[in-house]
Amino acid sequence: MRTSVSAGQGNHKSKASREIRSALNSILRFSCFSVFAIGLHGAAQAAGAGPKGRYYVTDESGYNKIWQFQGTTLNSFPTVPSGGGDPDGPIIVDGNAAGGAGRVRSVKGGFWGGSISPSSNSPGYEYLFDGTPTTSLNLDFTAHSPYGRVIDAAFDGENSYIVSGLFQFGSAGVFKYADNFSGTGSLVFNFGPDSILQSQQGITYDTKNKTLWTSDYNLTGTGIGYVREWDMSGNQKSLFEVVTSSGVRSERNTALAYDFSDDTFWLNAHVEDSLGLGYGIGELWQFSRGGEFLQAIHGQELDPNAPSDILYWGGEIRATGQPPQVPGPLPALGVAAAFSFSRKLRNRIKRSSIV
């Protein structure tokens, strides 16, 4: 049986059809706007050369500074005490300290925890995020003198961890201290007898997997270096080679840091001018969790007055207290508008239904 439609119903239906088409066009326009805005938002983030989180690094090149890389900016502040013996090495970033105000803590690095002999401590300081010194620190490594060089640290929100390595200078392992490097340090685990495993120098804490990652400082001449993931009992869980997408390898790697704002890793690759920009050593490389090379940057890209030749020792990205990354207002606006027009469309369809 065919259903007939009166002229009045036809005009009503024609009007409803026009409204539906109008609503669909509006959704399409706002959806395109939302996608465009999301694209702009992503492009703006991608345009930032440096890490999303703030990457604090110490250097072994005698500048006696703590360098801060984030997005397109590079800042620094002087270490305390400046000069004298080895430069600062182990560094942690505590975002929850002082009621959320946050603190940066670093101590002298080098052999036997940065001291001239294993019978003395390694001095350092705690700083506000702007570099203002607040409290003196000391790393006591005297109980672990058979172990090798100490230049980097990690932080899990409560405890700091240092890695001691270089197979030529003793044993290698990971030690746990309080959040301000106090105490005598307790051994977490030793590395295996392999000479490369005995030469771990970078370390960071993975807040996602609750594991530690270390980086090779390979002096065997093979030209190959790895970043390795360990559980807290010292079992190796995963690893990836430190190599760029164009095949440039780095066998010695320091200043390892995990950036949980985008789930990536940063390190100082001890290579020279893989970027082809005429800069010297001092490149920072970024990798995905799975080991995909993402990018390389040099400080002079962000600041032409930055050192051309510099090697970094310790590195850490703010590990606690950092708010999660959220999309900007434009994508949210587009999505909200699309939902609003979708609701209006459903109401119009409902009103125009013919029973």
- CATH code, 301: 2.120.10
Same structural domain, 64 and 23: no
Model pLDDT for residues 141-184, shown as the tens digit of each residue: 888 878 888 999 999 999 999 999 887 766 899 999 999 999 99
Q: How confident is the model at residue 318 (pLDDT cuts 50, 70, 90)?
A: confident
Q: What is the maximum alpha-carbon separation in the chain?
A: 102
Same structural domain, 338 and 260: no
Same structural domain, 17 and 96: no
Same structural domain, 116 and 243: yes
- The answer as to whether 252 is a domain residue is yes
Instruction: For residue 314, give every residue at least 6 positions away whose Cβ sits within 8 Å of its Cβ, in sequence order, or none.
Output: 57, 58, 88, 89, 90, 91, 106, 109, 151, 152, 153, 254, 255
The H-or-E segment that residue 16 falls in is helix 7-47
Same structural domain, 91 and 147: yes
Same structural domain, 139 and 250: yes
Model pLDDT for residues 254-283, shown as the tens digit of each residue: 999 999 999 999 999 998 767 777 777 899
Same structural domain, 348 and 219: no
- The answer as to whether 323 is a domain residue is no
Same structural domain, 345 and 258: no
Same structural domain, 130 and 88: yes
Give me 299's structure tokens: 């400080």
The H-or-E segment that residue 161 falls in is strand 159-165
Model pLDDT for residues 115-142, shown as the tens digit of each residue: 445 556 889 999 999 999 999 999 998 8
- The answer as to whether 2 is a domain residue is no
For residues 224 and 218, the answer to whether their CB atoms sit within 8 Å is yes
Model pLDDT for residues 4-21, shown as the tens digit of each residue: 434 444 444 455 455 545
Same structural domain, 235 and 262: yes
- The answer as to whether 149 is a domain residue is yes
- The answer as to whether 324 is a domain residue is no
Same structural domain, 168 and 109: yes
Give dist(CA 50, CA 327) in Å, integer: 19
Q: Which residues of 81-114 are buried (b: 16+ CB within 10 A; e: fewer)?
A: eeeeebbbbbbbbbbbbeeeebbbbbbbbbbbbb
Kind of pairing between the strands at 173-178 and 200-206 = unpaired
How many domains does the chain contain in total?
Answer: 2
Q: How confident is the model at residue 193 (pLDDT cuts 50, 70, 90)?
A: confident
Same structural domain, 298 and 341: no
- Cβ atoms within 10 Å, residue 126: 22
- The answer as to whether 124 is a domain residue is yes
Domain hosting residue 183, numbered range: 53-317
Strand partners, 288: 264
Instruction: For residue 41, give every residue at least 6 positions away whose Cβ sits within 8 Å of its Cβ, in sequence order, or none.
Output: 327, 328, 330, 331
- The answer as to whether 97 is a domain residue is yes
